[in-house]
Structure 1
Amino acid sequence: MKRILLVRHGESEWNAIRRLQGQADIDLSERGREQARALAPMVASFRPGLVMTSDLKRAVQTAALLGYPEAGHEPMLREQDVGTWTGAEIAHLMANAPAAYAGWRAGTFAPENGEIWADFRARIARVIEKALAAEADTILMVCHGGVIRAALDGTLGLAPARIIPVGPASLTILAFPKGEARLEVFNTTAFAPVIDAPD
């Protein structure tokens, strides 16, 4: 049976100050490095036969700390492009553009020059298809919170408005018995789960 392990990168320097990153290439914080190291034994227990990572630094660094420094870089696993909101403080958006921010979280609004949710979901669906076509039964994807929400929307029909942002260095598992997706694990960590993670 095919399984896809989806790991969100550890806390980044911008996550720590609750600033939207999108495709900005931000390093892990020291806490994020510790989180990734803590998750490594759990991920290793699944013995992934193929490891793919977003090519953004925070995901590449997480993959290396999980024990996969040679993971293949996959640009299609990048986070959703948030356009002019890149670098914006989440608190500022929530205070000054609450409807727009809620719409973005629900997948119904894109900031100027940002990626439309349907296009983002389709991009992630192509990566999922690529993974399912691979020889390996267990595929690890080290990626981003939005990528995981898009994967759940595309495979299970779980709209982003119905999914909390997954925590840093968390594991979500999709299994495909007889080719149909099923959610086996969501947002699990090696520490107390984070249920109010920044996007």
Structure 2
Amino acid sequence: MSELIVLRHGETEWSVSGQHTGTSDIPLTERGEEQARHLLDDLGDREFVEVLVSPLQRASRTAELAGIEEFETVPDLAEWDYGEVDGLTTADYLARREADGRGPWNLWTDGAPGGESPSAVAERVDRVLGRVRRSLEKGDVLVVAHSHLLRALVARWLGLDVRHGEGFLIDAAHRSVLTHKRESPVVKYWNVPPTH
């Protein structure tokens, strides 16, 4: 059975600090580059019929350092556009909302003010999955992208509303495997750390 391997990019300064990193195109840290070099080490000589990568440099650089020589940049794999939340931690943003007299907030149900709604992210992820499902008929597929985007992707892979992506944490430089069991989409592994 063919597998969809999804990788979250290596560490960045903002993944360490907990700042939302949507369209801000920041580089990997030195540690993030080292992580990326080992992301595929334990997969052996696996070949992919298609490799799809977010256009943001933290993802494309991760793919390059992981030893992927050919890949396609896919705009639909860019991270959630966080709008006014970009560059802020959740705690900082909630404090700002409280100071402005606004109520509670949850990205997965409310969307990002000035950015994308959950339904807009779901539409992007569904387009990617439509393409991936066709490619999986021929062999394994690799996707390199971002935390919230991949969490939305796994929810949609399982046929769930995108808001259920909130329950699937994926750390920087970690990998997950999606496949089928008796024709039903399943999660084989989730949030697997690098080997080094």
TM-score range, shorter chain: 0.7 to 0.9
- Cα 1:96–1:191 change in 2 (3 A) is farther
Structure 1: tracts of 5 or more residues without a match: 193-199
- 2:147 corresponds in structure 1 to 145
Note the 1:19-58 alignment, pairs <5 A. 19-58=19-58
- 1:2 corresponds in structure 2 to 2
Note the 1:141-180 alignment, pairs <5 A. 141-156=143-158, 157=160, 159-164=164-169, 166-177=170-181, 179-180=183-184
Over residues 52-106 of structure 1, what are the superposed CA-to-partner deviations in whole Å (9 max), with x where a residue is unaligned?
10011000000001111421111111111111111123441254448644x11xx
- Identity level (%): 28
Structure 2: tracts of 5 or more residues without a match: none
User: Partners in 2 of 1:136 and 1:44 — Cα distance?
Assistant: 19
Q: Which secondary structure state, in structure 2, belongs to the residue aligned with residue 5 of structure 1?
A: strand
- Cα 1:112–1:65 change in 2 (3 A) is same
Note the 1:28-107 alignment, pairs <5 A. 28-97=28-97, 100-101=104-105, 103-104=106-107, 107=108
User: Partners in 2 of 1:173 and 1:97 — Cα distance?
Assistant: 37
Q: Which secondary structure state, in structure 2, belongs to the residue aligned with residue 47 of structure 1?
A: coil
User: Partners in 1 of 2:71 and 2:33 — Cα distance?
Assistant: 17
Over residues 96-130 of structure 1, what are the superposed CA-to-partner deviations in whole Å (9 max), with x where a residue is unaligned?
448644x11xx111232211112202211110110
User: Partners in 1 of 2:144 and 2:95 — Cα distance?
Assistant: 32
- Structure 2-normalised TM-score? 0.86
Q: CA deviation at 1:182?
A: 0.7
Q: Which secondary structure state, in structure 1, belongs to the residue aligned with residue 26 of structure 2?
A: coil
Q: CA deviation at 1:50?
A: 1.6
Q: CA deviation at 1:19?
A: 1.7
Q: CA deviation at 1:185?
A: 0.5
User: Partners in 1 of 2:29 and 2:138 — Cα distance?
Assistant: 32
**Residue identity opposite 2:24 in structure 1:** A
Matched, 1:113 2:114: yes
Residues 39 and 173, structure 2, Cα contact 8 Å, conserved in 1: yes
User: Partners in 1 of 2:128 and 2:118 — Cα distance?
Assistant: 16
- Cα 1:179–1:119 change in 2 (3 A) is farther
User: Partners in 1 of 2:59 and 2:76 — Cα distance?
Assistant: 13
Q: CA deviation at 1:10?
A: 0.5
Give the count of matched residue pairs. 188
Task: Select between 175-184 and 59-68 the one with higher mean Cα deviation.
Answer: 175-184
Say which one has the larger Rg. 2
Residues 153 and 165, structure 2, Cα contact 8 Å, conserved in 1: no
Across the aligned residues of Structure 1 and Structure 2, the Cα RMSD in angstroms comes to 2.2
Point out 4+ residue stretches in structure 1 off by more than 6 angstroms.
none
- 2:129 corresponds in structure 1 to 128
Over residues 13-55 of structure 1, what are the superposed CA-to-partner deviations in whole Å (9 max), with x where a residue is unaligned?
3223322111211111111111111222134554323211001
Residues 81 and 112, structure 2, Cα contact 8 Å, conserved in 1: no
Q: Which secondary structure state, in structure 2, belongs to the residue aligned with residue 81 of structure 1?
A: coil
Over residues 153-194 of structure 1, what are the superposed CA-to-partner deviations in whole Å (9 max), with x where a residue is unaligned?
112127123223x101111111034542111000001259xx
